[in-house]
């Protein structure tokens, strides 16, 4: 399995200690903060500022917001992480990207979405800084931490067999990123993840493995519900490939339909004493 420092990437590993390292194509991450961090950060956010952040996110086409805590051991292992509390964002991958076959043009569309997502994250980060809250931006195209896993910790969804985050609203059809790390302590942190059933569904499914033209996902080597991911084979980061998204039942049929189908199967298996 790929180590944690490269699980956001679909190509060759990048240097662990390079804050500006990227993993996808020739996309360059730039520092877009316009506001300096406050010297003494506030630790609690008021309801008006919180509502403003949610409204800003919606106006910037951010679909889902979650709140998670980075585990203590991860903070100790990664000295680049400044704060352990995180605001996590997702942005929908549009049909113009999904419907475009792998190509340089498809990758350019992906890069434009990443650019839009990154800029949106910095806008929200600057607003927080203006209001006295310290922030550290984890750009969606930057190798700072495992963003899909962070989104799972925030209860937003579950990382499926394809290593993509699956959420109720968007299935696997989203970019995860725009995480803002902050010392704010009174965020609405998720106490449980109600989407864990996805793990069991993914173990039985495997359609993402079958549709991948590059054999990126290895069925024979499993870690929990996920297949081994061969980064060097994946063309998602240099040709904008989305076949694993298109083949996923959560994309084709929707979260609710898949959940209903899963529950019926589970009920039958329990009835036959196979669970």
Share of the chain above pLDDT 90, in %: 66
Residue 20, pLDDT score: 38
| Pairing between β-strand 64-69 and β-strand 85-92 as defined by DSSP bridges | antiparallel
| Global pTM value | 0.85
> How much is the mean pLDDT over the chain?
86
Whether residue 245 is predicted with pLDDT greater than 90 in this model: the reply is: yes
Q: How many CA atoms lie within 13 A of 183 on its CB side?
A: 12
> Which SS3 state, helix, strand or coil, does residue 67 take?
strand
Over residues 85-100, the pLDDT tens digits come to: 999 999 999 999 999 9
Q: How many CB atoms lie within 10 A of CB 237?
A: 21
Cβ contacts of 227 within 8 Å, gap of 6 or more = 161, 162, 163, 206, 208, 209, 217, 218, 219, 221
Confidence class of residue 17 from pLDDT cuts 50, 70 and 90? very low
Closest CA to 88 of 229, 215, 218, 182: 182
End-to-end Cα, the chain, rounded Å: 29
**What was the pLDDT predicted at 16?**
41
Predicted confidence at residue 18, as pLDDT, reads: 41
DSSP 275: -
208 pLDDT more than 80: yes
pLDDT at 224: 65
């Amino acid at each position: 399995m790929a180590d944690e420092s490269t699980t956001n990437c679909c190509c060759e590993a990048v240097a662990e200690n390079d804050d500006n390292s990227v993993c996808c194509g020739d996309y360059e991450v730039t520092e877009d903060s316009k506001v300096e961090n406050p010297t003494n950060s506030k630790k609690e956010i008021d309801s008006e500022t919180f509502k403003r952040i949610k409204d800003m996110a919606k106006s910037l086409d951010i679909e889902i917001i979650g709140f998670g805590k980075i585990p203590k051991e991860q903070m100790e292992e990664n000295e680049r992480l400044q704060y352990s509390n995180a605001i996590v964002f997702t942005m929908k991958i549009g049909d113009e990207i999904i419907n475009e076959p792998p190509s340089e043009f498809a990758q350019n569309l992906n890069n434009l979405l990443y650019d839009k997502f990154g800029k949106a994250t910095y806008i929200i980060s600057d607003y927080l800084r203006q209001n006295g809250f310290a922030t550290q931006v984890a750009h969606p195209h930057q190798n700072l931490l495992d963003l899909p896993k962070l989104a799972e910790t925030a209860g937003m969804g579950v990382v499926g067999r394809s290593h993509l985050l699956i959420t109720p609203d968007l299935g696997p059809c989203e970019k995860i990123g725009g995480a803002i790390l902050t010392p704010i302590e009174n965020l609405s942190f998720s106490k449980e993840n109600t989407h864990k059933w996805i793990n069991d569904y993914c173990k039985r499914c495997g359609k993402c493995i079958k549709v991948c033209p590059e054999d990126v996902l290895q069925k024979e080597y499993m870690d929990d519900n996920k297949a081994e991911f061969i980064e060097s084979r994946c063309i998602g980061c240099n040709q904008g490939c989305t076949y694993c998204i298109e083949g996923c039942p959560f994309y084709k049929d929707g979260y609710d339909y898949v959940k209903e189908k899963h529950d019926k199967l589970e009920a039958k298996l329990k009835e036959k004493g196979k669970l």
